[in-house]
Amino acid sequence: MLGVGFPKEERAALIASEPAKFVLPRLSDQRFHWIVARMAALDADEMRELVIDAWLMVVPKKVSAAHLGTSD
C-alpha cells in the first residue's frame, strides 16, 4: 500500500471509479489530503503520476512552475 497526497474533494470519485486500486486512508488520517493506493494494482506510469502530483501539491509554486516549465 502506498499513501500519497491527494485532494480530499476528489477522493470519493477516484475510489468509486477504481476501487481495486484505491481506498480511503485509515479513519484517523481521513482529515488529511491523502489516498491509499494498492501498489500491485498500479503500473509504473500511474505510480509516477501519483507521486509527482502529490509532490506538486506541497512544493512552492516557483518549484512546481519550474518542473512544469511554466511561469508562476
The predicted-structure confidence for 16-52, as pLDDT tens digits, reads as follows 999 999 999 999 999 999 999 999 999 999 999 999 9
Total domain count for the chain? 1
What's the pLDDT score for residue 24?
A: 96
Among 58, 62, 11, CA closest to 36: 11
Domain that holds residue 31: 2-68
Compute the distance between CA of residue 58 and CA of residue 13 in angstroms, rounded to an integer.
22
pLDDT on residue 13 = 97
User: At residue 1, does pLDDT exceed 80?
Assistant: yes
